[in-house]
Structure 1
Amino acid sequence: MEAAITAAESAAARRAPIICPLCGRPIPPQAKSSRHHLTPRLKGGTHMGTVRLHQICHSAIHARFSETELAKRLDDIESLRADPELAAFIEWVGDKPPSFHAPTRMTRDRREAKASKNRWV
């Protein structure tokens, strides 16, 4: 199945560039990219829709939101684009070249929340 998806994407890329639905920039063949499950696999989205995103866009989503948040309120591109945190990221990345990539870290708030959740009391 994955091979068929990859072959179809390759054929489509030769005809026209794939556009990242999150940031709206083209995804050239040499750019880092990945598939994002609109409903996280851990929340039942294994056989549901996916979209091809720049890797930096995909990483930005998972650095900001938990699987539960993604499943409950951010399970489509429109709601992701409307979120204020991602809107700021989209504005920032919008003027970068299509193949731009930079490491993405979890947000400080999310890191701290995760650390406090994992502390023994």
Structure 2
Amino acid sequence: MPRLKGGTHLGTVRLHQICHSAIHARFSETELANRLADIASLKADPEIAAFITWVRAKPPTFHAPTRRSKARS
């Protein structure tokens, strides 16, 4: 749950920075709060599922710049 949508009062989940950036590049704060407010919902989303599959093959130190999705531009 995004902090701007009340997430500071709920439990938090630690994410690697590349995963955090990928989530925010694809979804607005409102969409995250309304539709993707928990880990199970995020993992079930096709875009995030594809990203997880891709990033799992990378070494723990992997970092790549994340650009905003064309759908959010």
Q: What is the TM-score normalised by the length of structure 2?
A: 0.93
Q: What is the TM-score normalised by the length of structure 1?
A: 0.58
Corresponding position of 1:71: 33
Structure 1 residue ranges without an equivalent (≥5): 1-38, 112-121
2:11 paired residue among 43, 49, 55: 49
Offset of residue 48 of structure 1 = 1.3
Count of aligned residue pairs for this structure pair:
73
- Give the secondary-structure state (helix, strand or coil) at the position aligned to 2:14: strand
1:87 paired residue among 49, 55, 63: 49
Corresponding position of 1:101: 63
Offset of residue 87 of structure 1 = 0.8
Question: Does 1 or 2 have the higher relative contact order (CA < 8 Å, sep 6+)?
Answer: 2
Of Structure 1 and Structure 2, which has the larger fraction of its residues in strand? Answer: 1
Q: How large is the RMSD of aligned CA atoms in angstroms?
A: 0.8
1:59-110: CA deviations, max 9, x gaps? 0000000011100110111110110011111111110001211110111111
Structure 2 residue ranges without an equivalent (≥5): none
1:62 paired residue among 3, 21, 24: 24
Runs of 4+ in 1 over 4 A off after TM superposition: none
